[in-house]
């Protein structure tokens, strides 16, 4: 089966047209069952700025490959992939055959790679709501951050905690997002809002940096040929008939996750910095993303009696990913991170010039300050979650599948 038909078959099976457009279907000739006006209203509700929406209309019919794709998300993905490939080319490390991308509605907020061995292609399938989630997350972060511009000094936990305490709206929105995601199973069911004008630029940068990191992480898995390596390792272990096969495999899984984080962050950092000076933005966005997911893990533990992990066996915890990443960046900055490409055994002369900025302790400082702010949120969310649990409110089925 070719990759496109494969994506379509998955989308058809999952009835993916639910989330944004309900029964809306799209064809390559344009939009046939939902009016442009309805899409425009949806985009506005999601907080997209006017020029983005206008641009979306221009690119819509050209970029859609499957009638099940939601045009907004698909446009976003193709645009991100272009940026990621651009950055990878600057590093002289890119995948010669462009991966296929698509969206799927599983309700998991993650992405996964499916190799299509027959066509010698790779398919990256993104959860349909992933980028809605990232958008809402960035909005929350924007409200917490005291300044519209990010610098090493502006990431200050005292100021952030003050923002949270002085603006009760923030906690309300965090709760709204968490409950839509955890109880209802759909982040897009949370209440839509638009940030004040002075924060829009920051929101764009933060959203973009997290989106780029997510895509770059998957791209890095492909670049570093992780799924192939895992297959090889599995083959060897099976031949040896070892008792600890599963344990060893999960160790490799985790190692590859760290590698994809390192390389992915480097690609994302390069991609975002191509569009202006956003020195610390990538780190701020990514550390907040990890800290927020760590909070989600804690919440699920309340409902799952302490045995939950988002990706049992294959993924390290979010806090250890965050810690490891900050250490790598901090060690001697991003040129050290080039070392993560040592797995490819090649030289990095092209990258060196682009990534020689010194960060010193700034990155670890940023990580710590963000974690303190999220911890402050958590202290207020925690009793509410315990109360919900006592009242017999259940987490959505998609999470229950994971709770052991």
CB of 158 to Zn ion, least distance (A): 34
Which CB atom, from 72 or from 209, has the smaller least distance to Zn ion?
Answer: 209
Which CB atom, from 221 or from 365, has the smaller least distance to Zn ion?
Answer: 221
CB of 217 to Zn ion, least distance (A): 6
Which CB atom, from 69 or from 257, has the smaller least distance to Zn ion?
Answer: 257
Which CB atom, from 208 or from 321, has the smaller least distance to Zn ion?
Answer: 321
149, 187, 198, 145: which is closest to 167 by C-alpha? 145
CB of 219 to Zn ion, least distance (A): 10
Which CB atom, from 72 or from 340, has the smaller least distance to Zn ion?
Answer: 340
CB of 6 to Zn ion, least distance (A): 20
The answer to whether the beta carbons of residues 45 and 132 sit under 8 Å apart is no
CB of 254 to Zn ion, least distance (A): 10
Which CB atom, from 18 or from 258, has the smaller least distance to Zn ion?
Answer: 258
Which CB atom, from 219 or from 378, has the smaller least distance to Zn ion?
Answer: 219
The answer to whether the beta carbons of residues 307 and 403 sit under 8 Å apart is yes
CB of 206 to Zn ion, least distance (A): 21
Q: What are residue 27's phi and psi, to 5 degrees?
A: -125, 170
Which CB atom, from 215 or from 395, has the smaller least distance to Zn ion?
Answer: 215
Burial classification of residue 298, based on how many CB atoms lie within 10 Å of its CB (0-12 exposed, 13-18 middle, 19 or more buried): middle
Which CB atom, from 203 or from 259, has the smaller least distance to Zn ion?
Answer: 259
CB of 75 to Zn ion, least distance (A): 24
CB of 84 to Zn ion, least distance (A): 15
181, 244, 208, 257: which is closest to 84 by C-alpha? 208
Angle subtended by helix axes 71-90 and 36-45, to nearest 10 = 60
Burial classification of residue 161, based on how many CB atoms lie within 10 Å of its CB (0-12 exposed, 13-18 middle, 19 or more buried): middle
CB of 72 to Zn ion, least distance (A): 25
For the record, the structure tokens of 16 come out as: 């993916």
Distance (Å, rounded) from C-alpha 2 to C-alpha 5?
Answer: 6
CB of 318 to Zn ion, least distance (A): 12
Sites of contact with Zn ion (CB under 5 A): 257, 260
Cα-Cα end-to-end distance for the chain: 35
The answer to whether the beta carbons of residues 321 and 259 sit under 8 Å apart is no
Query: Which residues 6+ apart lie within 8 Å of 33 measured at CB?
Result: 23, 24, 25
224, 218, 212: which is closest to 285 by C-alpha? 212
Which CB atom, from 76 or from 310, has the smaller least distance to Zn ion?
Answer: 310
CB of 252 to Zn ion, least distance (A): 12
Which CB atom, from 143 or from 218, has the smaller least distance to Zn ion?
Answer: 218
């Amino acid at each position: 089966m070719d990759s496109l038909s494969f994506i379509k078959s998955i989308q058809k099976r999952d009835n993916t047209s639910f989330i944004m457009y309900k029964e809306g279907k799209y064809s390559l000739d344009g939009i046939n069952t939902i009016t442009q006006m309805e899409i425009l209203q949806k985009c506005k509700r999601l907080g997209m700025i006017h020029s983005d929406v206008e641009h979306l209309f221009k690119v819509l019919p050209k970029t859609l490959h499957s009638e099940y794709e939601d045009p907004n998300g698909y446009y976003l993905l193709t645009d991100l992939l272009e940026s990621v490939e651009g950055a990878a080319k600057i590093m002289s490390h890119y995948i010669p055959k462009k991966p296929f991308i698509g969206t799927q509605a599983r309700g998991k907020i993650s992405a996964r790679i499916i190799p299509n061995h027959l066509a010698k292609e790779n398919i990256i399938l993104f959860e349909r709501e992933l980028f809605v989630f990232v958008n809402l997350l960035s909005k929350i972060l924007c409200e917490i951050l005291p300044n519209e511009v990010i610098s090493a000094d502006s990431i200050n936990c005292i100021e952030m905690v003050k923002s949270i305490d002085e603006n009760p709206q923030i906690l309300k929105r965090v709760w709204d997002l968490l409950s839509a995601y955890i109880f209802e199973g759909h982040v897009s069911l949370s209440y839509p809002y638009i940030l004040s004008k002075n924060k829009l630029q920051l929101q764009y940068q933060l959203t973009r940096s997290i989106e780029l990191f997510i895509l770059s992480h998957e791209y890095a898995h492909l670049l570093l040929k992780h799924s192939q390596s895992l297959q090889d390792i599995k083959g060897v272990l099976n031949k040896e008939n070892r008792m600890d096969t599963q344990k060893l495999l999960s160790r490799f899984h985790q190692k590859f996750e760290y590698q994809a984080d390192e390389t992915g962050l480097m690609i994302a950092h390069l991609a975002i910095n191509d569009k202006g000076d956003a020195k610390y933005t990538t780190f701020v966005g990514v550390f907040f993303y990890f800290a927020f997911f760590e909070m989600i893990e804690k919440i699920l533990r309340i409902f799952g009696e302490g045995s939950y992990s988002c990706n049992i066996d294959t993924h390290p915890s979010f806090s250890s990913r965050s810690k490891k990443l900050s250490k790598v960046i901090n060690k001697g900055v991003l040129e050290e991170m080039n070392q993560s490409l040592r797995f490819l055994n090649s030289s990095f002369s092209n990258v060196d010039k682009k990534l020689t900025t010194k960060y010193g302790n700034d990155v670890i400082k940023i990580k710590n300050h963000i974690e303190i702010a999220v911890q402050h949120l958590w202290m207020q969310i925690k009793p509410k979650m315990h109360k919900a649990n006592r009242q017999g409110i259940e987490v959505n089925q998609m999470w229950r599948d994971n709770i052991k």
